[in-house]
Structure 1
Amino acid sequence: MSAGRCTMGPWNMVQWGDGSDADDYTVTSDESEVVIAHGLSRPDAALIASAPDMLKALRAAVVLIGDHRSTEMGSINAAIAKAEDARPYRGGA
């Protein structure tokens, strides 16, 4: 993701209200406190809040693994492309 196309991480999960509603979670950016998503369950908020860290880890895996063509590498590149709203990797296509 390039700057300007997304709200850069890290993102935080915050519980609002008194905790009586299962969908009381909001995800915000760390620095600007921009609301990324709200009205979430705890598991959904945790997954969304971890997205910037997961994308960073996947990019590092691509660098570490290199140009290896495999189903797993295709899945990693497809996940990165989905996160970046780009055309998915098609195994050299």
Structure 2
Amino acid sequence: PLLEKLGVNPEQKALILVPTRELAMQVSEAINQVGQVLELNAVCLCGGVDKEQQQQALATNPHILVATTGRLVDLANNGLDLSNIHYLV
């Protein structure tokens, strides 16, 4: 249902919080595979990955952010704007 809603209105964004880096990577990969049909993309935000790379990925204006809580807090403290998030999972 979430991908369908975003497919209808791609200007809306979603944030999916997960507890581990491995799960964040798996979820974002799955969304990117399924989301190709709807032209939706996800970005994985987790520790252990270069923060600058993740900030560059955020600059592409992804539809879905898949994040661990630690990295999300880190990026939010450094200016990540979450005001356009419409859905939280």
**TM-score scaled by structure 1?**
0.28
- Which of the pair has more CA radius of gyration? 1
Is the helix fraction higher in 1 or 2?
2
Higher RCO, 1 vs 2 (CA within 8 Å, ≥6 residues apart): 2
